[in-house]
Amino acid sequence: MSEDNIKQLFKIIGTYNRFRIVEILCKKPLTMGDLAKILNISVPAVFKHLTALQEMKIVSFRNIRESEGGRPKKIYYLIQKVIAKVILDDEIQAIEFYKISPKIEREAVNDKEDLELRKTMLRIKLRRLERKRLKILKEFERLNRLENELFG
């Protein structure tokens, strides 16, 4: 499938610019203005896409001051890498997105705030995994009881 066809498909479903933002932020964190220039779209449009990506827990930002008295800039970066799988055949047309948490690399940690953010993200993932583990254990116990009732 050609890039033009993929671009057309994403335009139809309205996520092509979000896909491009994720692709661009994969390479390096950028400001909203930088993204608007690269994508050749308005800053409000970039804001709309970034807001949607933030709600999906794919993108986040941090404020960085370039000089001591200057205004802070919001630098957007990926929390999770997203892989898009496009499925096109005679019967099925779909796009699947897979979120992958990036590995923490020593040079990727910029400051203490960044490190604390990553630690918090890992704590949240651990809590989710623990809840899933408990659900699986309950289901396993239920099946054991059922087996005992049926087969003694």
pLDDT tens readout for residues 65-84: 777 777 888 889 888 766 66
1, 85, 92, 95 from 88: Cα distances, Å: 9, 10, 6, 9
Least confident range of 68-72, 106-110, 132-136, 140-144: 106-110
What is the value of pTM for the model shown?
A: 0.51
In sign, the C-alpha dihedral spanning 103, 109, 113, 115 is: positive
pLDDT of residue 58: 79
